[in-house]
Chains A and B, each alone.
Chain A
Amino acid sequence: MSTAPSVRVAPLAPPGPGSGWRRKARRRSATRPWLLLSPALLVLGGLLLWPLARVVWLSFQDYGLKQLVSGETNFVGLANYREILGSDYLWTGVLPNTVGFAAVCVVLTVGLGTLAAVFLNILKPTWRTICSTAVMVAWAVPAITGTYVWVWLFDPLNGLVANTLANLGVIEPGTVNWFTDRLGFYAIATLNVVHHGFPFVAITVLAALMTVPRELYEAAIVDGATSWQRFRTITVPILKPVFSVVTILSTIWDFKVFTQVYLMPGGNGGNSEVFNLGVWSYIQSFSQGKYGMGSAIAVLLTGMLLLITLVYMRTLFKEEEL
């Protein structure tokens, strides 16, 4: 339905001289982008903006199962936000978990991804294809499967890691349970998320690397630049926009990690020390039926992400203007 106008516009009048055609074309060029965008915008509006608006609307209510079933509203103003922002748990537990975990994951994901890209870039095409396929497998594994694999690896009683460490005499078998410890828990979650996230960075950065003109490197070699200098002064500046994109995307993804935390032992409610904002929001909403509270947490998370993205974009564009 929404594509119909663009279809009608699509057959272009045969190009010909004359100012009338040119004026028409200008008018067309003003509306055409919107016509072409309209299907995507409608889908985005229906699938993203409307739910988002509803979450914001819910966040101002004390909304439980009862309201959900009856469809009534129960506005409480800013009470949910006041309770969240006033709780120690947010400031000492959930927020440090979310921010710290995301920061570490982003740095590691982008760092490791770039390393992998540089490595792939110097390979011969055949080996590059083989290696990048291998890297992509990590990305293709669903988060659920990946999480269970890591949980099994670190199983305190029968896991590979526990057994290996026990055989090496580092730990006494069965005495260590990494999942109950906040740091241990997040170390495993970090491994999981970085392992799952670095292929995207690697492939994107590799694509960008392959567009860097060879002459620049050749000139640098003639000038006697070391490989580190070549990387710093040629590769990094050219790849900057790509780095910004992968960093912003990784930041957004790592802030809102849910599956990888929720599916780990204790992550689904038993150990409130290890919740991040996403899990906290889910537990409030679906385990406790406090949809208003859960929505308010989700709104705060979204707000934080928008803010981070804005700051990123601003610094990026400012530098380009200079």
Chain B
Amino acid sequence: MNRRISAVMAGAMVLALAACSSGGSSDATPAGDASDPAGQSGEGKTLTVWIMEGTNPNAEGFFEGISADFTEQTGATLDVQFQPWAGAHDKFVTAIAGGTGPDVAEVGTTWTAEFAGTGALADITDKVAEAGLDDDLVQGLVEAGTLDGKLYGMPWYAGVRSIVYNKALFAAAGITTMPTSWAELLDAVEALKAADPATIPFPIAGDSQYGAMPFIWGADGDIATLEGDTWTSKIDSPEAIEGLKFYTGLALDHGSSTAAANTWNEAALLQGFIGGNVGMMISGNWTMGRIAADAPDMAENIGAFPIPSRDGGVAGSFLGGSHLSIFNDSPNQDLAWEFVQLMTTGDAAAAWAEETGFFPGQVSALEASVTSDDPLVAPFAEQMLEGRSVPVTPLYGQVQGAKIVEAMLQSILTGRLSVEEATAEAATAMDKIFSSGS
């Protein structure tokens, strides 16, 4: 099987040689094969898969290769439907409600617990154990996909946000060593501003929750903590307030941002950065590919460094990524699992990571990335070691749905509320959701 995959995919992808050597992890034969020696269990069936749009610039080419492999392996046809991230949560919810979901879907790690809580996703704990994969999965992703001790999302890929900077602007401002503490970050902002007042040194995007979190974590704060079996918001703790004061203060007191950024989401932030007069931004490692595709000139001109914490060192940053989850009402459970395994292990997983700039969800595969000497990989890998997760409870999906953190950021950035007032309001709103029970 392994040889077949390599042979077909070699044509479809620009596959790094490294992928071939990681064959060991894909030796686990899908459980379905044992009962069906021909491996053609899916003859005449179609497996519908939802994949998020924009992760892989060459997603269509990639899935053409996968489809061919999958058909060869199982006899079934693969129907891959690309879904835009914007509005995806609503689409999932509507599909779950209407029973119109796919067989397998890429589920953002922060949603898995929420969807699993509704009973829409299949428990894959036993399947993973049977395939002998359970010891080789990235722990942060397993944690995010686990609800009440059961795994509902197969770790597929992960990424982390760090600071991406414009080399030309940094050089013009005479910044040679990358900031490793808040004080140095502030120095960099002021140097950029002094070098050219037209520069936007460090836009603070009001519609980006994950941009703010590293500063909460970097001040030893927390979003929420679990005591007993209830979550309590800690976003109004003195540590979190200190972090948010520094983060929003960059915009409010040090002119690092622009009023336009108060309503920016991460896509708008990236667009702003590509515009060329933004000094640095908080951005994910996966956007490197995006920049290379959208602005090839700029791609030569960027660098990255980990988001610093208050007193030096690397701050915690949200470990984002995706699971592949099987829908409970899919009639093709075994076929779906074969697909999940095909995607998340071995060559396909390595190729996906390679093409998207994400890190794979398997520890054995991740180790290769962490030791990379690529200047646009190493800083993220370093940040990934400090990867954090948002509170793992189905209720946090509601917190995100209500955009509590974004609303808090925006009210601070527009000066409507002070940091203390805004965090108190956010904490009250979060606690109301947490106390509403499952």
Contacts and interface: CB of A to CB of B under 8 A. Distances in A.
Given A180-B263, A286-B93, A289-B397, A174 B258 contact: yes
Nearest to A66: B118
B410 A266 contact: yes
Contact of A156 (B207, B259, B413): B259
B410 A289 contact: no
Interface string B111-141: 0001101111000000000000000000000
A282 to B, nearest CB: 9
Interface in B369-407: 397-398, 401-403, 406-407
B263 A266 contact: yes
Contacts of A290: 398
Given A155-B260, A283-B401, A287-B90, A68 B410 contact: no
B200 interface: yes
Contacts of A140: none
A272 interface: yes
A92 interface: no
A272 B407 contact: yes
Nearest to B263: A265
A265 B401 CA distance: 16
Given A69-B120, A157-B272, A272-B407, A288 B398 contact: yes
B97 interface: yes
Contacts of B206: 180, 270
B200 A180 contact: no
B96 interface: yes
Contacts of B398: 288-290
Interface in A39-86: 65-66, 68-70
A263 to B, nearest CB: 10
B262 interface: yes
A284 B360 CA distance: 35
B407 A175 contact: no
B58 interface: no
Given A174-B258, A287-B89, A289-B398, A66 B407 contact: no
A271 B258 CA distance: 18
B401 A269 contact: yes
Contacts, number: 96
Nearest to A270: B406
Contacts of A68: 96-97, 118
A167 interface: no
A137 B96 CA distance: 38
A69 B406 contact: no
B402 A283 contact: yes
B94 interface: yes
Contacts of B94: 286
A175 B258 contact: yes
A272 B404 CA distance: 10
B418 interface: no
B414 interface: yes
A198 interface: no
Nearest to A291: B97
B406 A157 contact: no
A288 B272 CA distance: 30
Contacts of A271: 263, 407, 410
A203 B93 CA distance: 40
Contact of B258 (A65, A156, A270, A273): A156
Contacts of B115: 65
Contact of B402 (A65, A155, A266, A288): A288
A142 B402 CA distance: 27
A310 interface: no
Given A174-B258, A179-B263, A269 B97 contact: no
B410 A270 contact: yes
Nearest to A266: B263
A19 B90 CA distance: 65
B407 A157 contact: no
A42 B275 CA distance: 55
Interface in A158-195: 158, 174-177, 179-181
Interface in A230-286: 265-266, 268-273, 283, 286
B407 A269 contact: yes
B33 to A, nearest CB: 32
Given A65-B114, A180-B262, A270-B207, A70 B119 contact: yes
A174 B257 CA distance: 9
B260 A157 contact: yes
A66 B403 contact: no
Given A175-B258, A286-B94, A69 B119 contact: yes
Contact of A65 (B117, B263, B403, B413): B117
Interface of B: 89-90, 93-94, 96-97, 114-115, 117-120, 200, 206-207, 258-260, 262-264, 272, 275, 397-398, 401-403, 406-407, 410, 413-414, 416, 433, 438
Given A65-B93, A288-B398, 17 more contacts: A65-B117, A65-B118, A69-B97, A69-B118, A158-B275, A174-B200, A177-B259, A177-B262, A177-B414, A179-B263, A180-B206, A180-B259, A266-B410, A268-B403, A269-B402, A287-B89, A288-B402
Closest 9 CB pairs of A and B: A287-B401, A156-B260, A265-B263, A269-B403, A157-B260, A177-B259, A174-B258, A65-B118, A68-B97
13 contacts: A66-B118, A70-B119, A155-B260, A156-B258, A174-B200, A174-B260, A180-B262, A181-B414, A270-B410, A271-B407, A286-B94, A288-B433, A289-B93
